[in-house]
Chain A
Amino acid sequence: MNVQQPAGYPVGESIDDHQIPFWHNPARRALVYQLAALIITAAIGGYLFHNTVVNLKRQSIATGFGFLEREASFEIGESPIPFSASQSYARALLVGLLNTIKVAVTGVCLSLVLGLFVGICRLSGNWLVARLAALYIEVFQDIPVLLQLFFWYAVFYDSLPPPRLAITPLPGVFLCNRGLIFAVPQDHPAYRAMAAAFLAGCVIVFLLRRWARKRQERTGRIFPVVRTSFGMLLGLPFMVWAGAGFPVAIRVPQLSGFNFSGGMAISPEFTALLLGLVLYTAAFVAEIVRAGIQAVSKGQSEAAMAIGLKPWQIMNLVILPQALRIIIPPLTSQMMNLTKNSSLAVAIGYPDFVSVASTTINQTGQAIEGVAMIMVIYLIMSLITSAFMNWYNRKKAIIER
C-alpha cells in the first residue's frame, strides 16, 4: 500500500524502500523538490550574471569597488564631518551615511515622543482631544510620505519669506527660506562639564533605581525615585552651571547680507525631511500605542484602582508594562520604516546615503556596486535595529512559570 504523505515529511519512516516506487517515497521526493529549487535558482542567477558580464564588457564598464578611491568632485550641502570635492567617493558615501543616521536617529526619537503623546490623546476622556488626535492620525496616515516631504519642502521654498523678512516665532529663533536658525549659547567650558554632570546624573539615577527596587522588594519601603531622579538630572548640571558663575553669553543669529551668521542653522532639506518622516511615522506609532493600551484588559486598571493606586501609578506600574509587550514588535517595524523612508531624501535633495550613492552612480556608471551598497547599508541598519529591539523585547517579555 502506498503511504500518501505531504511532501517533505520527516525522514526516518521504516517503510521498506523496495516496495514503493521512487516517486512515492516522501524523503526522496523532498530531496528532488529541493534540488529542483536550487537548480532553478542557480540557473536564473547564472543566466542574469552571464548577461550582466557580457553587457558590462560591451559597455566597457570596469567592475569592482576601485572607484571608491577616486576623487568625488562634487560638493555636499551639509556634512557632519569636513568634506570637500577633492576627497574620495568613499568619504562622500561616509558623509551620506552619517547624514542618514542623523536623520534616522533624530526622527525615531521625535516620532516616538509625538506618537506616544498622540496615542494617549486618542484615548483621552476629553472628546475634543480624542477627536483631534483621531483626525491627525487619519490624515497623516493616508497621505503618501513622499507627498508630505514635497509639501514641507515647498513650504520652505514657496511660502516662507527670505532671511530679511524672517519669521520669529520665539525670540532668537528665525524661520525663513534658508531654514530654521536659532540662537545657541556661546561656547564655554562649563557646558561640557554640565553635559558630563548630566551623564553622571543618568548613571546615578540608573543605580538608584536598581537599589530602590531591591530595597522595596526586601523591605517594602518605597523610595521616591521619580522626584530624586528629576533632582539629580536637573540639579547636578545646574550646580555645575552655578559653580562656573552662570555663563549666559548667547550667540544670536545676525542678519548679514543675504543670510544669517552665528547661531545654529538647520537646512530646509533636513527640516522638511524630518518633519515629513516624523509626522507620518508618529501617526502609525500613535495607533500602535492606542491598540497596545486598549489591549490591556479593563479589569487590570479596575483592580489597580481597587487596591488604591493613584492614576499615574496605574499607568506606570500596571498598564504600560503590559502594553509595552504588545507595542514593541510593531514599533520595531515602524522604526525600521522610518529609517528606510529616510531614503526619500533623494527626492528633496538632502544628501543622505541614497542621494550620495545616486550621484556616485551617475558620475561613475558603477550602477551595480552603487545599488548593492545601498541595499547592504540598509540591511545592516535593519539588522541592528531589530537586534536591539529584540533584546529589549526579551527583557520586557512576560516571564512565565
Chain B
Amino acid sequence: MMTVYYGSGEDVRPPVTSTGALGWIRENLFNGALNSILTLLCLALFARVFPPLFRWIFIDSLWMSTSSACRNIKGACWSIISTNYRFILFGFYPYALQWRPTIAVLLLIVLLLVSRNRSFWNKSLLYAWIAGLLAMGILMQGGMFGLQRVQSDQWGGLPLTLLLAVFGLAAAYPLGVLLALGRRSRLAVIRVLSVLYIEIIRGVPLVSLLFMSAIVFPLFLPEGMTVNKIIRAQAAIILFTAAYIAEVVRGGLQGIPKGQYEAAESLGLNYVQTMRLIVLPQALKIVIPPSVSVLISAFKDTSLVVIIALYDLLKTTQSTLSNPNWMGFSSEAYVFLACIYFICCYGMSRYSRQLERELGAPA
C-alpha cells in the first residue's frame, strides 16, 4: 500500500552519490566512520611506502652497469641480474651449451601450459609428457645425437629446481596413491606400515630427510657403490612429497560413498579392479585442486636443497652474492628470485582455483 507521487511522471534518477565511481567509492571505502578511517590509514600507508619504493626500483636504479657504478647510487642495482643472469639461471652448465637447458625448460613450460587445458587430458598427452621428459633428459645430459656430455654435477639453477619439482611429483604421486590405499587397507600389517611411514615423514622436517640423503644414505649402500648427490636429494624429496600426497588422496578416498565399493563388489570386481576402475578415478578427480597445492609446496621446497649445497636457483644466487664485486646487493638479487618463484606459484595457484571452480560446478 504505497502511493508514489511523482508529479510530472518523469524518471527520477538515483542520486549521483549511489551510482558510478562515486557510488562505488562511497559503498566500498567510506561506508561508516570505521571504514573511512581505515581507508585513510591505507592511503597514508601507500603514500609513505610506494613513492620511495618506486624511486628505488625505477628512478634511482641502474639496470646495465658495472658493479662499481652501483656503489654510488641510492636506488636498486639491477645490474647484478643483467650481468649474472646466466649463472643464476643455469649455474655451472658450460656457457656455450646453455641453449640446451634453455630449450629443456621451455619444453617443460610448453608441456605445463598445454596440460592446463582439461580437454587435452588423454593418452596422447601422457605420451607427450613421457617424450618431453625424455627429451629434456637427453638435452641436459647429452652424450647422444652428437650432443656433448655434461655431468650432472654441473647442472644447476632453474633447470635443477624444475627437474627436482617435476620428477619429485611424478614419482611421488604413484607412491602416495599406494600409501593412501595402504592406509585404508583392511590388512592390518599393510595399514600399520603405511600409517607409520606417513606419520613419521610428516612429523619430521624436510631438512632432516635431506641431511639423511646427504650424510646417512651413503652408509646404506654396499661398499664401492655411490649414488649421485642430485638423485639422493631427489629421493628425499620424493619420499617427503609422497607422504603429503598420500594424505591428500586419502581425503579423496574417504569422499567416495560406500555404495560405490558395494556396487563394485556386487559386480564381482576384485580389489585391484575396484580401485582401478571405480574408486581411484573418482577419488583422484576430487583431489586435483589439493594436489596442485602439494605441487606448489614441492616446488617451493626444492629451494631447501641449498642446505646440502646443491646448486639450485637459490644457491646460484647466493654464490653470485658471495662474489666480492656484487656483495651487498642481496635485496635486488632476492627480489628477482622472489619474482621467479612468485610467477610460477601464483600461476599454479590461480590454475588450482580455476580447476576447483570447474570441477566443483555440477556437471
> What residues of chain A have their CB less than 8 Å away from a CB belonging to chain B?
4-10, 30, 33-35, 37-38, 41, 48, 51-52, 54-56, 58, 124-129, 132, 138-139, 141-147, 150-151, 154-155, 158-159, 336, 340-341, 343-344, 346-347, 354, 358, 361, 367-368, 370-371, 374-375, 378-379, 382-383
B331 within 8 A of A: yes
Cross-chain pair count, CB within 8 angstroms? 174
Q: Which residues of A contact B31 (CB under 8 A)?
A: 125
Name B268-317 residues within 8 Å CB distance of A: 268, 270-271, 274, 296, 300-301, 303-304, 306-307, 314
B121 within 8 A of A: no
Contact B190 A37, beta carbon cutoff 8 Å:
yes
- In the complex, A150→B211 CA distance in Å? 20
B324 within 8 A of A: no
Q: Which residues of A contact B270 (CB under 8 A)?
A: 4-7
- In the complex, A158→B76 CA distance in Å? 13
Listed by A's residue number, 26 A-B pairs whose Cβ atoms lie within 8 Å are A4-B268, A6-B271, A7-B187, A48-B220, A56-B219, A58-B223, A125-B31, A129-B38, A141-B349, A142-B341, A144-B303, A146-B306, A150-B334, A159-B331, A344-B307, A347-B306, A354-B207, A354-B208, A361-B211, A367-B211, A367-B216, A370-B211, A371-B211, A371-B216, A375-B204, A378-B205
In-complex Cβ contact of B188 among A5, A34, A56, A146 (8 A): A34
Contact B42 A128, beta carbon cutoff 8 Å:
yes
- Kindly provide the distance from the CB of B272 to the nearest chain A CB, expressed in whole angstroms: 9
Contact A142 B330, beta carbon cutoff 8 Å:
no
- Kindly provide the distance from the CB of A335 to the nearest chain B CB, expressed in whole angstroms: 13
Q: Which residues of B contact A347 (CB under 8 A)?
A: 306-307
- In the complex, A288→B29 CA distance in Å? 25
Contact A354 B205, beta carbon cutoff 8 Å:
yes
- In the complex, A48→B225 CA distance in Å? 13
- Kindly provide the distance from the CB of A360 to the nearest chain B CB, expressed in whole angstroms: 12
Name A's interface SS: helix
Beyond A30-B187, A55-B221, 13 additional pairs, beta carbon < 8 A? A4-B268, A6-B271, A33-B190, A51-B222, A126-B29, A126-B38, A127-B29, A139-B342, A144-B303, A147-B337, A374-B211, A375-B208, A378-B208
| 4 A-B pairs with least C-beta separation | A154-B330, A142-B345, A127-B28, A34-B189
Q: Which residues of A contact B346 (CB under 8 A)?
A: 138, 142
In-complex Cβ contact of B219 among A126, A142, A143, A367 (8 A): A367
B318 within 8 A of A: yes
> What residues of chain B have their CB less than 8 Å away from a CB belonging to chain A?
28-29, 31, 35, 38-39, 42-43, 185-190, 193, 200, 202-208, 211-212, 215-216, 218-223, 265, 268, 270-271, 274, 296, 300-301, 303-304, 306-307, 314, 318, 328-331, 334, 337-338, 341-342, 345-346, 349
- In the complex, A141→B303 CA distance in Å? 14
- Kindly provide the distance from the CB of B162 to the nearest chain A CB, expressed in whole angstroms: 14
Q: Which residues of A contact B303 (CB under 8 A)?
A: 144, 146-147
Q: Which residues of B contact A4 (CB under 8 A)?
A: 268, 270
- Kindly provide the distance from the CB of A46 to the nearest chain B CB, expressed in whole angstroms: 12
- In the complex, A378→B206 CA distance in Å? 11
Contact A126 B193, beta carbon cutoff 8 Å:
no
- In the complex, A345→B337 CA distance in Å? 20
Q: Looking across the interface, which residue of chain A has its beta carbon closest to that of B189?
A: A34
In-complex Cβ contact of B331 among A38, A58, A154 (8 A): A154
Given contacts A30-B187, A126-B38, A129-B42, contact A144 B341 (CB under 8 A): yes
- In the complex, A145→B206 CA distance in Å? 13
Q: Which residues of A contact B203 (CB under 8 A)?
A: 336, 378-379, 382-383
Q: Looking across the interface, which residue of chain B has its beta carbon closest to that of A362?
A: B215
Given contacts A128-B29, A151-B338, A347-B306, contact A51 B193 (CB under 8 A): no
Given contacts A143-B342, A378-B203, A379-B200, contact A7 B271 (CB under 8 A): yes
- Kindly provide the distance from the CB of B343 to the nearest chain A CB, expressed in whole angstroms: 9
Q: Which residues of A contact B268 (CB under 8 A)?
A: 4
Q: Which residues of A contact B306 (CB under 8 A)?
A: 146, 347
Q: Which residues of B contact A371 (CB under 8 A)?
A: 208, 211-212, 215-216
Q: Which residues of A contact B38 (CB under 8 A)?
A: 124, 126, 128-129
- Kindly provide the distance from the CB of A173 to the nearest chain B CB, expressed in whole angstroms: 19
- In the complex, A54→B334 CA distance in Å? 45
Q: Which residues of A contact B345 (CB under 8 A)?
A: 141-143
Contact A158 B223, beta carbon cutoff 8 Å:
no
Q: Looking across the interface, which residue of chain A has its beta carbon closest to that of B261?
A: A6
Contact B349 A142, beta carbon cutoff 8 Å:
yes
- Kindly provide the distance from the CB of A89 to the nearest chain B CB, expressed in whole angstroms: 17
Contact A51 B349, beta carbon cutoff 8 Å:
no
Q: Looking across the interface, which residue of chain A has its beta carbon closest to that of B218?
A: A55
Name, among B185, B206, B274, the residue most crowded by chain A CB atoms within 10 Å (CB to CB): B185
Q: Which residues of B contact A336 (CB under 8 A)?
A: 203
- Kindly provide the distance from the CB of B271 to the nearest chain A CB, expressed in whole angstroms: 4
- In the complex, A143→B338 CA distance in Å? 6
Q: Looking across the interface, which residue of chain B has its beta carbon closest to that of A375?
A: B204
Q: Which residues of B contact A58 (CB under 8 A)?
A: 223
Q: Looking across the interface, which residue of chain A has its beta carbon closest to that of B268?
A: A4
Q: Looking across the interface, which residue of chain A has its beta carbon closest to that of B28?
A: A127
Q: Which residues of A contact B187 (CB under 8 A)?
A: 7-8, 30, 33-34, 37
